[in-house]
C-alpha cells in the first residue's frame, strides 16, 4: 500500500525547500528543531531560497504566457513586512503592492523600483499623496474625489502623478460560495460588499476628469478582490468580467488603451489553509444538529454525554484538502482569458504591461512557525478529549484566525510517526486559543517541537501582544546558515508605549507605612 502523505508533501513540481530526512523536518539545510535550540521558541522561520524561487516562478510563468508585453510581480507587502525579505525581493527586481504610508516608507527603504510600486488604499491624506508624487510611485485611486487632491498636490510640486483607477466590477457569474465566510454567501455578494474599488457608475466620469487634468496621467487600471476561491474557474470568471469592464471604459474614453493592467492578487498558496479550520459543511451540521443535542438531554446526563462523545470527533475532524492550482496553471488560465476577452473588446494588446500582486501565494510557503509542547492534557469523562498546549498563541497567528486558517502541521522530529493521538493544538493565552482543532499526530511530550506550515503570509505581520506576550523572533535560513532578521520582543518592548507619570512612579516606589 502507498505510504500516506504527510503535511510536508505536495504534488511534484519545482523544488520545495522543506524536506523530511530520517523523520525530521528540514528547512533548506537546517533541521527545524535545531533552529529552536539556537533561537528559542516560539519562532517564525523563513526560507530565502523559497522566497527567491517563488518570485522567479511567478515571473517566468506569467512572462511565458503573456508575450504581448512586460510582466511585473508586485508582492503584497502587507502579507509580510519583514524588511530583509522585502530587500531580497527588491534585489530581485520585484515591485510592491502597499497600502499605508508606513508600508510605503518601509518598501522605499529597500531599494525597490519606484515605478513598480502600487500605492493602494482609500482615504489617502494630502501628506501621503505628496510623498507618493515626490517618490514617483503609481497611485492606485480608490475614492471618487481623490484625483482632485492628487492634481492639487502634483501641481504644487510641479510634477505629473501617474495613477490607475481601482475598479469594482459586477461578477454575477461567480455564484459559488466565497471562502471569506463560513456561511453560504456567493462570491458576487462578497465582492460587492467589500469596501475597496471604485463602483463602475463613477469610472467613466472620473476618467474624463483625469484626461482634462494637467498634472495627472491615467496609465492603467487595477482590479483586486482577494482570495475568494482556490480554483481556475474563479480566475476565468473574474478575468472575463474585468476584461469586459476594460472594454467598456476604453470605448467610453474614445479608444483609450491602458499601458498597465493590474490583476491584483488572491491566488492560493501551495498548502492553502484559508477557511479550512472549520469547513462550511461542519458549520451547517453543527447548526442543524443543535436541536438534536438539546433534545438528547432528556435522555439523561450519561446518555447525553455518550452521544456527545461520539459527535465531537465528527465535528472536529477534517477532510483531506484538495491541492490548489499551480502558479503555471493560474498563469495560463488568467492570461488566456484576458487575451481572449480583451481581443473581443477590440483592444490592441501589444506592449501592454501585465501586473500581479501575489501575497499568500508568494509568501505562504516561505515560512513556518515553530513551537514547543508545554503540556499534554486529557480527560476521559464526561466526554473524552485531549489538548496539546503549545508555547505559542493564535494571537501570533492572528491573520489565520481571522481567515479560519487550518495550518498543516508536523511534529518536527517525528514527521512520519503514527498519528495515534487525537487532540486540539491550543495556545497558551487565556482565550480558547484553538490553533488546530481535532489534530491527529504522533504521541508528543513536553519539549517536542511542532511546526505549523504555510505561515509565511499574514501571520508574523499580524501578531499581537494579548496577555502581554512578547512577539517571537523571525529567522531567515539560507542553505546551512540561519540568522535573525527580527529579534524577539522583550517585556520592556511590550510596555514601552505606556505613559506613566512621574508622580505615579514615585507613589509606587515610596515605602509603605
**Residue 430 bears catalytic tag:** yes
Cell 458549520 found at: 283
Q: Contact at 8 Å (CB) between 408 and 279?
A: no
488's grid cell: 524577539
| Among 13, 60, 14, residue whose Cα is nearest residue 332 | 60
Q: Which residue has the cell 523536518?
A: 25
Which phi and psi angles does 438 have, rounded to 5°? 55, 40
| Antiparallel, parallel or unpaired: β 481-486 and 473-478 | antiparallel
Of 430, 432, 468, 510, the active-site residue reads: 430
Per DSSP bridges, beta strands 216-222 and 71-73 are unpaired
Strand runs labelled E in 341-399: 353-356, 367-379, 385-390
Per-residue b or e along 109-147, where b marks 16 or more CB atoms closer than 10 Å to that residue's CB: ebebeeebbbbbbeebeeebbbbbbebebbbbbbbeebb
Which residue blocks in 158-257 are alpha helix, DSSP H? 187-193, 200-211, 232-252
* Burial degree of 241 (CB within 10 A; 0-12, 13-18, 19+): buried
Q: Which three cell numbers stand for residue 489?
A: 520582543
C-alpha cell at 24: 525530521
- Cα–Cα distance between 37 and 480 in angstroms, integer? 15
Cα–Cα distance, 167 to 188 (Å, whole number): 14
Q: Any idea which residues carry the catalytic annotation? A: 430
Amino acid at each position: 500500500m502507498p505510504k500516506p502523505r504527510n503535511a510536508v508533501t505536495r504534488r511534484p513540481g519545482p523544488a520545495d525547500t522543506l524536506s523530511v530526512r530520517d523523520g525530521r523536518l528540514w528547512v533548506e539545510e537546517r533541521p527545524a528543531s535545531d533552529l529552536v535550540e539556537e533561537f528559542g521558541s516560539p519562532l517564525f522561520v523563513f526560507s530565502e531560497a523559497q522566497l527567491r524561487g517563488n518570485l522567479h516562478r511567478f515571473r517566468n510563468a506569467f512572462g511565458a504566457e503573456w508575450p504581448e508585453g512586460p510582466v511585473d510581480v508586485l508582492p503584497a507587502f502587507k502579507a509580510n513586512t519583514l524588511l530583509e525579505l522585502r530587500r531580497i525581493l527588491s534585489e530581485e527586481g520585484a515591485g510592491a503592492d502597499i497600502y499605508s504610508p508606513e508600508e510605503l516608507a518601509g518598501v522605499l527603504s529597500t531599494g525597490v523600483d519606484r515605478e513598480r510600486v502600487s500605492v493602494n488604499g482609500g482615504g489617502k491624506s494630502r501628506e501621503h499623496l505628496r510623498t507618493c508624487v515626490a517618490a514617483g510611485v503609481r497611485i492606485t485611486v480608490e475614492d471618487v474625489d481623490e484625483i482632485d487632491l492628487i492634481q492639487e498636490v502634483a501641481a504644487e510640486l510641479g510634477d505629473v502623478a501617474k495613477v490607475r483607477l481601482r475598479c469594482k466590477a459586477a461578477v454575477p457569474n461567480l455564484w459559488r460560495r466565497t471562502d471569506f465566510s463560513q456561511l453560504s454567501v456567493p462570491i458576487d455578494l462578497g465582492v460587492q460588499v467589500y469596501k475597496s474599488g471604485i463602483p463602475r457608475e463613477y469610472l467613466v466620469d472620473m476618467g474624463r476628469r483625469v484626461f482634462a487634468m494637467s498634472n495627472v496621467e491615467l496609465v492603467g487600471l487595477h482590479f483586486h478582490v482577494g482570495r475568494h476561491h482556490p480554483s481556475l474557474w474563479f480566475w476565468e470568471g473574474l478575468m472575463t468580467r474585468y476584461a469586459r469592464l476594460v472594454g467598456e471604459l476604453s470605448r467610453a474614453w474614445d479608444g483609450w488603451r491602458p499601458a498597465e493592467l493590474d490583476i491584483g492578487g488572491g491566488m492560493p498558496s501551495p498548502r492553502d489553509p484559508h477557511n479550512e479550520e472549520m469547513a462550511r459543511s461542519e458549520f451547517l451540521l453543527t447548526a442543524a444538529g443543535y436541536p438534536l443535542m438539546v433534545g438528547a438531554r432528556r435522555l439523561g446526563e450519561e446518555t447525553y454525554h455518550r452521544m456527545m462523545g461520539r459527535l465531537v470527533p465528527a465535528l472536529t475532524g477534517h477532510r483531506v484538502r484538495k491541492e490548489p492550482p499551480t502558479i503555471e496553471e493560474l498563469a495560463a488560465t488568467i492570461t488566456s482569458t484576458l487575451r481572449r476577452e480583451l481581443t473581443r473588446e477590440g483592444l490592441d494588446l501589444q506592449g501592454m504591461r501585465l501586473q500581479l500582486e501575489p501575497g499568500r501565494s508568494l509568501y505562504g510557503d516561505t515560512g513556518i512557525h515553530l513551537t514547543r509542547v508545554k503540556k499534554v492534557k486529557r480527560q476521559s469523562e464526561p466526554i473524552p478529549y485531549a489538548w496539546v498546549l503549545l508555547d505559542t498563541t493564535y494571537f501570533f497567528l492572528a491573520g489565520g484566525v481571522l481567515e479560519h486558517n487550518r495550518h498543516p502541521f508536523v511534529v518536527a522530529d517525528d514527521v512520519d510517526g503514527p498519528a495515534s493521538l487525537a487532540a486540539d493544538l491550543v495556545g497558551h493565552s487565556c482565550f480558547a486559543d484553538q490553533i488546530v482543532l481535532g489534530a491527529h499526530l504522533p504521541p508528543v511530550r513536553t519539549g517536542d517541537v511542532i511546526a505549523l506550515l504555510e505561515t509565511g503570509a499574514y501571520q508574523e505581520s499580524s501578531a499581537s501582544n494579548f496577555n502581554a506576550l512578547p512577539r517571537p523572533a523571525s529567522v531567515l535560513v539560507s542553505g546551512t546558515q540561519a540568522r535573525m532578521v527580527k529579534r524577539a520582543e522583550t517585556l520592556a518592548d511590550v510596555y514601552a508605549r505606556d505613559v506613566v507619570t512621574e508622580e505615579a512612579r514615585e507613589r509606587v516606589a515610596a515605602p509603605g507605612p
